[in-house]
Copies of this chain bind each other. A is one copy, B any other.
Amino acid sequence: MKLATLFFGRRLSNREQGTRKLGWFEAVPAMGLDGLGSASYGPEAALTILMPLGAASLAWIGWVMAPIVVLLAILYLSYRQTIVAYPSNGGAYTVARENLGRNASLLAAASLMVDYILNVAVGISAGVGALSSSIPALQPWTLTLCLVVLALVTMANLRGTPEAGWLFALPTYVFVVSFLGLLVAGLWAIVVTGGHPHPVVAAPHLGDASGAIGVWLFMRAFASGCTAMTGVEAVSNGVSAFKEPVIGQARKTLAVICLVLGLLLGGIAIVAHFYAVGAMDQTKPDYQSVLSQLTAAIAGRGVVYYVAMASLLAVLSLSANTSFVDFPRMCRIVAQDGYLPRAFAVADRRLVFSVGIFVLTVAAGGLLILFGGITDRLIPLFAIGAFLTFSMSQIGMVVHWRRQGRGHAGRLTINALGAGTTVVAVLVILAAKFIDGAWITVLAIPTIIVALYLIHLYYDKLDASLQCSAPFTIEEADPPTILVAVEGRNRMTDQALQFAMTLSPDVIAIHLLRVSGPDTDDDGKRLKEQWQTDIVAPLETRGTKAPRLMLLPAPYREMHEPLLKFIARLDEETPGRSVAVMIPEAVKRRWWEYVLHTNRGARLHRMLLKHGNARVKVVIAPWRPDQV
C-alpha cells in the first residue's frame, strides 16, 4: 500500500473528484493534442507512400494534402453541430446509440477502441521517431524507448489526470508557435527567393524514381495522409468538461484546433515541396522524420531545432495521453450498458478506471512490440478506425436532425456532407490499405463486436436469473449442519469449533486422511483419542453435546470430494437440510505468508462452490496467529 502511495499518490475519496471546468485556452492542449500531433505523421505517411516516385513525390504531395484539408474543413463544420446537439457527451458511441440503434453503436464502440489503441501506438512511435531523428544514436533503441514512454504515460494516468494543465499547455503552445513560425519563415524564404530557397541544412537527396504516379498510388497516399485527421473528434467527446458558455467554449476550441491543424498540414505540404524534403525509411540507421528535415532545412540544427523537436516529442507522447483519458471513459459507458465486463466501470483508488488503462496499455504495448515500434508499419491499421468512427457519428447526426423535424435542413445537409465524404474516405482507405495491414483492423472490429455481444448475452442471462418479483419468504428452516474441517487439535480448530457451536447445535468435525500424499504420517487414530479426552470428555462433563469427529480418506488429495460425498450421505438422512462447511483460515497480512501456507482452504472454498449443490454453504473461521 505504501508503495502504491509512493508511485500513484494517496487514494482519493469520492468527494475529491475534480470539478474544475476548462476554458478554450486550456482545452486546446487538453483535447487538441491528439489532433495536432497527427500533423507530424500524416504528411509523412503520405510522403512515404510516394517514395517510389523519388523527387517527383514533391510535385504530388500538394495534390494529396489538398483534399485532406478540405475534408478537415467539412469535419469541422460537422462536429460544430454535434457539439450543439449533444452538449454533455457527443462521442460517436453515444450518438450512434441514440440515433442508429444498438448494432451501429457497437460498431462505433469497436472502431473507437481500435482507434484509441492505435493512437497510443502511433503517437508514441512517431514521438520516438522524432527523438531518434534528433539523436541518431538512439535509433537502435526504438522499441525499448517506445515501451518506456508507454510505461511513463500509463503511470501518469494511473495517478489520474492532474490539475496541472501547464504540463499539457506548455509543449502544445511551444509546438504550435515554433512550427507555425518555421512554416511562415519557410514560406517567406520561398517567396523572397522566387521559389528557390536555400536550405540551412539540405535534406538528404531523394532516391531515384522507381515508379510513376497512378490512381492507385495516389489513393494509397491519400489514405495514409488521412491519419493526419485522427483526434479531431476529441472536443465533441468531452463537451461536459467546458465552463460556461459551454457551447461557445467548445466551438472555439474546435475552431482553433482545426485551423491550426489545417495550417500545419497545408504549410508542411508547400514547404516540403520547395525545400525538397521527402520521407525516409525509419528502419534505416540514418532515418530523419519529415518534420526534422524541414526544421533543419529552414532553421538549421541549432537551438530552434532542438526546442521544436522537444516540443514535438512531448506533443506526440501527450497525444497518446488523449487515448488514456478517453478510452477508459468510453469503456466505462459501454460497461454500464452491459457490453463490457463490469470491472471497466469501477473507479479505483485514484478515481480513475484502471482496468481500461491496463487494457489500453497491454494492447498498445502488444502492437508496438509486434510492429517493432515503426510508425510506418502501424499507419495502415490506423485511419480505418478513426474514419469509421467519423462516419458513424455523422450518420447518427443526420438521423438526429431528421428526427428533429423541419427547420434543420441546413444542419442536416452539412452532416450529410460529412457523412458522405467520410464514408467515401473509409472506402478509399479500405481499398488502398487492405493488404498493407488494414485487414488486421477489419478483422479486429467484428471480433470485438462479437465479444461485446457475448458479454451482453451473459449479463442479460445473469440479470434474468437474479430477478425476483415475488415478496420475500422464509421457510422457517433449522440451522444448517456444520462440518468443521480440522487438521488436528489446535487453537485454530478450537476457535472454529466454538464458532460453529454458536451457529448450530449440529456440528461434525471432519479430518481428511493423507491429503498431502500417500506416505505422510497422518495418524487418525491418535487424533481420535485426543478428541475424546480433550474435547468430548470436558464437554460431556458439563452436559453439552460434543461434536463428533469423522475421519474420511482423501485418496486423490482433494478435500472437497470426500466432503461432498459425505454431504450427499447426510442429504439422504435429512433431506432438504442446509450444510455449511466451516474452513478455518489463518489470516495472512503479508505476501510471503501466502507462500508459506498451502492455501488449501481457498481451494476448498472454490471447489465446494463449484461442485456442491445449492444447499452447500461455506463459513470462514479466521484465526490470527498473533492473537492469543
Contacts and interface: CB of A to CB of B under 8 A. Distances in A.
Interface in A226-247: none
A267 B125 CA distance: 60
A612 to B, nearest CB: 7
A201 to B, nearest CB: 41
Contacts of A514: 14
A465 B619 CA distance: 22
Interface string A493-519: 010011101111000000000111111
A402 interface: no
Interface string A590-628: 000001111100000100011010101111111011110
A196 interface: no
Interface stretch (A91-99, A440-448, A471-479): A471-479
A341 B557 contact: no
Contacts of A478: 502
Contacts of A345: 516-517, 520
A490 B467 contact: yes
B597 A610 contact: no
A369 interface: no
Contacts of A471: 533-535, 537-538
Contact of A614 (B349, B553, B619, B624): B624
Interface in A9-52: 11-15, 17
Contacts of A556: 11-14, 349
Interface stretch (A128-136, A145-153, A454-462): A454-462
Contact of A342 (B351, B503, B597): B597
Contact of A502 (B467, B480, B502, B553): B480
Interface stretch (A55-63, A207-215, A415-423, A581-589): A581-589
Nearest to A15: B555
Contacts of A586: 462
Contact of A621 (B14, B497, B515, B617): B617
Interface in A515-535: 515-520, 533-535
A110 B43 CA distance: 63
Nearest to A489: B468
A496 B498 CA distance: 23
A341 B595 contact: yes
Given A13-B556, A555-B14, A474 B627 contact: no
B596 A349 contact: no
Interface string A184-221: 00000000000000000000000000000000000000
A539 interface: yes
Given A351-B517, A596-B459, A621-B617, A578 B474 contact: no
A612 B589 CA distance: 11
Given A538-B471, A556-B13, A596-B455, A618 B619 contact: yes
A610 B595 contact: no
Interface string A338-370: 000111011111010000000000000000000
B589 A610 contact: yes
A399 interface: no
Copies, count: 2
A554 B538 CA distance: 46
A474 B620 contact: no
A138 interface: no
A343 B499 CA distance: 28
B490 A502 contact: no
A622 B612 contact: yes
A589 B598 CA distance: 22
Contacts of A516: 345-347
A544 interface: yes
A466 interface: yes
A428 to B, nearest CB: 38
A519 B89 CA distance: 15
Contact of A578 (B502, B519, B533, B535): B502
A599 B602 CA distance: 14
A346 B490 contact: no
Instruction: Select the residue from A349, A489, A557 with max chain B CB neighbours within 10 A.
Output: A557
B598 A343 contact: yes
Nearest to A473: B538
A492 interface: yes
A605 B585 CA distance: 11
B517 A347 contact: yes
A614 to B, nearest CB: 5
A491 interface: yes
Max count, chain B CB within 10 A of own CB: residue among A347, A478, A622: A622
A399 B504 CA distance: 59
B610 A616 contact: no
Contacts of A599: 343
A136 to B, nearest CB: 29
Given A14-B517, A462-B625, A468-B494, 6 more contacts: A14-B554, A458-B596, A466-B490, A471-B538, A472-B494, A585-B609
Query: 5 nearest interchain CB pairs?
Result: A347-B517, A618-B620, A466-B490, A13-B555, A14-B518
21 contacts: A342-B597, A343-B598, A345-B516, A346-B515, A346-B557, A346-B598, A347-B516, A348-B557, A461-B625, A465-B491, A465-B626, A468-B490, A471-B533, A478-B502, A503-B503, A585-B609, A587-B610, A605-B620, A614-B624, A617-B619, A617-B620
